[in-house]
Structure 1
Amino acid sequence: MRVEIWSDIACPWCYVGKARFEKALAGFPHRDQVEVVHRSFELDPGRAKGDAAPVIEMLSKKYGMSTEQAQEAENNIAANAGAEGLGYRTEGRDHGNTFDMHRLLHFAGEQGRQDELIGLLYRANFADERSVFDGGDAYLVELAAEAGLDADAARAVLADPAAYADDVRADEREAAELGANGVPFFVLDRAFGVSGAQPAEVFTQALGQAWDAKPRLATLSGDGEVCGPDGCEVPAPGDRA
């Protein structure tokens, strides 16, 4: 079974939702048969690269909040993150363009290190003191290396604006086609969708429903010979070759 997760590194509920989903997946009896793929979604695609702003300032402008209301919203998310065992810095965080991070995540996906990298990017953005938006490519390369990727290869991806750009845009178009106008958005076997950072119990239910709905192979048995772990059947004398 495949689970696709549309998310953005700048999305705090994606950070929390990933932890809740993973809690459900850890208790799922068929977890070893579940493939998780992270898909790209930008919350602020119009923001220029390098144009970082304090999160509280961004929330105030975007949602018409007072500074106090924006801070209260951050404190609420921090409490939810803490309940999942996640670190969350409520002051001094930045918000910025995440397109290069998504390009790097597609590269990481080809190397089988996507989940490791997205986890590190989330940690860097929400828990660490150092801003993931003002360190330039050097910090992203550092995180890529920590995730097990080749640093020079990651640097080359970031240096080429076209590298994996089409993959990011394709994910975003597909999200729109699926009706996802917010993240996190979870799609299970292209049959079930879960929107938002739901409690782990909801993900547990969705995983079970998606698994039970999977089509099962109908097998026709007859006299045809087969091969198995102990060898191949030998046709009886006179059987047609």
Structure 2
Amino acid sequence: MLTATVNPGGTPHVARIDQNVRLADYQCSIARWVTLAAVSGWDILIIENSGHPEDSLLAGVPEEMYQQVQPRVLSYVADPQYTKLGKGVGEAHMFDRVVTEYADDFTRYKMIVKVTGRLFVENAQKLLFISPDINVIRCRIRADFTQVDSRFFACNPATWQNFVSNMAAEIREDSGYYLEHAMAFRVAKAMACGVRREPFPRPPRIVGISGSTNVPYGGFRRLLVDSVGVTIARSRPGLFI
């Protein structure tokens, strides 16, 4: 599941606002994900909440890859009241929308993976193996359980429906309580109910540019920080594990 918003409108806390630039980001990333899906046997769903046309989003995908993967696109226009509440609220509503729109076949999947659509995870194949546990969520979370890295996480359908859905009302960006905080609370709640939280076996190598800061992810320095962070997280509770 790749989340997308080509036109952020007046969404607060977004620095990368040019629609053409954002569209180019999505087209490049989507093409890479579809190409990877072709060799991995994954299904691809792009969910876009500013009503951008499907053919434009898929413009970078080679025809042979498109025919093999048959990526699905769900594009709709989000309620403007959600836009002004912040991008995390809009994304949380996407989490709900995918369940309602694809209720008939949502539960047939063993794992649902969420990725911020403008980003690519270079080592995704090594991170997205199927867990033997039925109820599991795989994510990076701060060692003090205050924030989840919401750019990239995975869980089984039941965990998604029970603990990832219906989260939008809990996000209060104007008070500094973002999607990442709400997700951390949901992960803790899920664990209290018997869901196992799995760390990724190694840090995800995320490449792309942050929509919030307009600063690139990736590179050797970022990889080093992530790798060292896993090692010393117990003494530095703010780091992701």
Q: Give the TM bin, normalised by the shorter chain.
A: under 0.3
- Determine which structure has the larger helix proportion and give its number: 1
Structure showing greater radius of gyration is 1
Structure number with greater CO (CA < 8 Å, separation at least 6) is: 1
Superposition TM-score, scaled by structure 1 size: 0.26
